[in-house]
Structure 1
Amino acid sequence: MRLSSATFLFATCAALTLTGCDDDDPIVTPDAGSSTDAGTDAGSDAGTDAGSDAGTDAGTPTSTATVTASRPSEGEPDVYPLEMYLDASGQTPVIAFRKVLTLTFSEPMDVSAAQVTLHDRTDATVPARVLTGAWSEDARTLTVTVPRTEESTRPLEVSTHYVLSLEALKDAAGLALSDTSLDFTTGERDPALEHACTHTLVNTPEAVTAGRTPFDFPPDTHTGHALYDVTLRSGEAGFGGYTGFISDAESAEHVTLYLNQQVPTKVTNDTAGTDVASVLAPARFICAGITHTVKFTSEPGDQIHLFQFGPVASEHIQFVLERE
């Protein structure tokens, strides 16, 4: 049975400048991006002459062009079924859904051929979707935006095997590809991750400057739902520094930092003088503002913790802090 549009509770503010969270759902509207292309089928014409470049007979030469990189990658499991972005095309910016697929080729391609076909292999009753991509200036990277469907607020279904057909693409010489498909499978949605993404899209960042040492009055960064923009200190190995966190007075909490880049992060309980076990891991791609997470558990008692960031190449990092 197909899943209906999932409903998730996001504690976000109605205005773009967010200073806190309440229990209202966020204003999330479907992507108003380009609709599916109603053009000709991406497959080769059955009437094509055997001697033409676009022919499909066994003796017809094929292109040496190959896909060298793609997002998602070939055979990738657990692909997030949507991306969240801020659509500012209307009078009031809104959070919208889409899914962007990219394919990079080993050589320049024919930019006049930009159609691909998306097939749902989990549910054979779902019609194929013909989409038109956009080529990069060097004619090697095709970007395909998958908009929402008429039946759903999301561009792709959860837990679904998809095949992207590339049969209509040609290289610069007009030769068809020998590898004509990209397979991937979507996973389930993550309400907590989507909630954090809303903060990266609509919050006004709270700017702080990290302490150079633990004794350099590190700024507090313990407010839940806040988006912090941290200026790090320069050092021999790169940029780094310290910020502070105070645990809840009565309850242990699961704390997550949603980072906009990979940042080595150490968590210490300064009150107890002990290190706190934490895990830095890549995040599933859903929005541009989150690439990695740091997770740890804080003990109750208003205990002072320190986040030690770096070294990294960037002077600025951003993260959303969530505590539950």
Structure 2
Amino acid sequence: MRLSSATFLFATCAALTLTGCDDDDSIVTPDAGTSTDAGTDAGTSTDAGTDAGTTASTATVTTSRPAEGETDVYPLEMYLDASGQTPGIAFRKVLTLTFSEPMDPSIAQVTLHDRTDTTAPARVLTGTWSADARTLTVTVPRTEESTRPLEVSTHHALALDALRDAAGLALSAATVGLDGDTALDFTTGERDPELEHACTHTLVNTPEAVTAGRTPFDFPPDTHTGHARYDVTLRPGETGFGGYTGFISDPENAEHVTLYLNQEVPTKVTNDTAGTDVASVLAPVRFICAGITHTLTFTSEPGDQIHLLQFGPVGSEHIQFVLERE
């Protein structure tokens, strides 16, 4: 069942009592006139009173995932849950916020609100602070009513008003990084079945290890099996690591081919049979699983034609990808 809203109230006040001068009349002498100067200096007590009256933290949110106001946030994260006797794929959503100064690590409760469906009950969640008490990680589990932790196409607000900094002060309504409401606001997008399918392969498939060819004539290994997860060892070069693998097109049909990559890798696709370059698109994807950050897409022509995939240069010796063809 869903948890009900929790309201956290915090009030602080500071009082500064200023003592007056002696009421007795006294004879004014030239030396006593220096009391005017003394009164000027005493006026700094007003500044002290301003400082003492501070009731809100100066902490700001330096980074967050998702970012404040971000849209099209993927509503779930896929991961391999090994807590049971049989490991299985599970859903969650991990939110993180990093503050400019240490916070009170004994207070980690936040409240997740559905701003699109205001009748939906709020969810009280307890996060985990980093060792330096600056980064809060909040894991949103799936609900009992749904397999996903967050609703799709929904404006969510993660209220942080219960948090305190190391001095015990609450966040200011004008906290930088929260757009003036002490809450992390973001909007989820729709789900992508193809991306989730590929993530499944990154989580459960044993990678097939291959070593890239140094040149197109160095017998590049085949990497054209659909649903396969490849671990490619690249060759060192002057500007980084790179190399070639092969792909053979379908005998009868043109296909839409997608490589789901674990990092950004410059890639060139060539139809070696026809001797022509093939248009391809390298693009980032919404975060859904740790094994996929980018996709490379291209269309292969039918006829058992040999294609070459030229990777790099890149800083990593190893790259991984799941190949899908349809």
TM range (shorter): 0.7 to 0.9
Q: Is the 1:121–1:161 contact (alpha carbons within 8 Å) kept by the matching residues of 2? A: yes
Q: Is the 2:240–2:313 contact (alpha carbons within 8 Å) kept by the matching residues of 1? A: yes
Q: Secondary structure at the match of 1:225?
A: coil
Q: How many residues align?
A: 281
Which residue number corresponds to residue 275 of structure 1? 277
Please give the residue correspondences for 1:212-227 in structure 2 after superposition, counting only pairs within 5 Å.
212-227=214-229
Which residue number corresponds to residue 146 of structure 2? 152
Whole-Å Cα distance in 2 between the matches of residues 36 and 71 of structure 1?
24
Q: Is the 2:3–2:122 contact (alpha carbons within 8 Å) kept by the matching residues of 1? A: no
Q: 1:86 aligned to 2:80?
A: yes
Whole-Å Cα distance in 1 between the matches of residues 249 and 71 of structure 2?
36
Q: Is the 1:120–1:163 contact (alpha carbons within 8 Å) kept by the matching residues of 2? A: yes
Q: Secondary structure at the match of 2:56?
A: coil
Q: Is the 2:255–2:299 contact (alpha carbons within 8 Å) kept by the matching residues of 1? A: yes
Which residue number corresponds to residue 134 of structure 1? 128
More helix by share: 2
Q: 1:163 aligned to 2:157?
A: yes
Deviation at 1:60, TM superposition (A): 4.6
Percent of paired sites with the same residue = 84
Which residue number corresponds to residue 6 of structure 2? 41
Measured on the aligned residues, the alpha-carbon RMSD in Å equals: 1.6
Deviation at 1:44, TM superposition (A): 1.8
Structure 1 runs (4+) greater than 2 angstroms displaced: 35-38, 40-43, 48-52
Deviations 1:1-54 (A, max 9, x none): xxxxxxxxxxxxxxxxxxxxxxxxxxxxxxxxxx9778x925324xx45349xx
Q: Secondary structure at the match of 2:71?
A: strand
**Aligned partner letter, 2:165:** D
Whole-Å Cα distance in 2 between the matches of residues 121 and 143 of structure 1?
22
**Aligned partner letter, 1:282:** P
Instruction: Indicate how the Cα distance of structure 1 residues 160 and 245 shifts in structure 2: closer, same or farther if over 3 A, else same.
Output: same
Which residue number corresponds to residue 304 of structure 1? 306
Which residue number corresponds to residue 292 of structure 1? 294
Which residue number corresponds to residue 24 of structure 2? none
Which residue number corresponds to residue 115 of structure 1? 109
Deviation at 1:175, TM superposition (A): 1.1
Whole-Å Cα distance in 2 between the matches of residues 157 and 37 of structure 1?
16
Whole-Å Cα distance in 1 between the matches of residues 154 and 111 of structure 2?
16
Whole-Å Cα distance in 2 between the matches of residues 42 and 106 of structure 1?
25
Please give the residue correspondences for 1:194-213 in structure 2 after superposition, counting only pairs within 5 Å.
194-213=196-215
Which residue number corresponds to residue 322 of structure 1? 324
**Aligned partner letter, 2:90:** A
Q: Which of 242, 248, 251 is the aligned partner of 1:249?
A: 251
Deviation at 1:172, TM superposition (A): 1.0
Unaligned runs of 5+ in 2: 16-52, 176-181
Q: Which of 13, 17, 29 is the aligned partner of 1:50?
A: 13
Q: Secondary structure at the match of 2:79?
A: strand
Q: Is the 2:80–2:87 contact (alpha carbons within 8 Å) kept by the matching residues of 1? A: yes
Which residue number corresponds to residue 97 of structure 1? 91
Which residue number corresponds to residue 50 of structure 2? none
Please give the residue correspondences for 1:253-264 in structure 2 after superposition, counting only pairs within 5 Å.
253-264=255-266
Q: Secondary structure at the match of 2:106?
A: coil
TM-score normalised by the chain length of structure 1: 0.84
Which residue number corresponds to residue 65 of structure 1? 59
Instruction: Indicate how the Cα distance of structure 1 residues 151 and 253 shifts in structure 2: closer, same or farther if over 3 A, else same.
Output: same
Whole-Å Cα distance in 2 between the matches of residues 244 and 86 of structure 1?
31
Q: Secondary structure at the match of 1:118?
A: strand
Which residue number corresponds to residue 236 of structure 1? 238
Which residue number corresponds to residue 4 of structure 1? none
Q: Is the 1:37–1:132 contact (alpha carbons within 8 Å) kept by the matching residues of 2? A: no
Whole-Å Cα distance in 2 between the matches of residues 36 and 172 of structure 1?
31
Q: Is the 1:134–1:144 contact (alpha carbons within 8 Å) kept by the matching residues of 2? A: yes
Whole-Å Cα distance in 2 between the matches of residues 193 and 88 of structure 1?
22
Q: Is the 2:96–2:137 contact (alpha carbons within 8 Å) kept by the matching residues of 1? A: yes
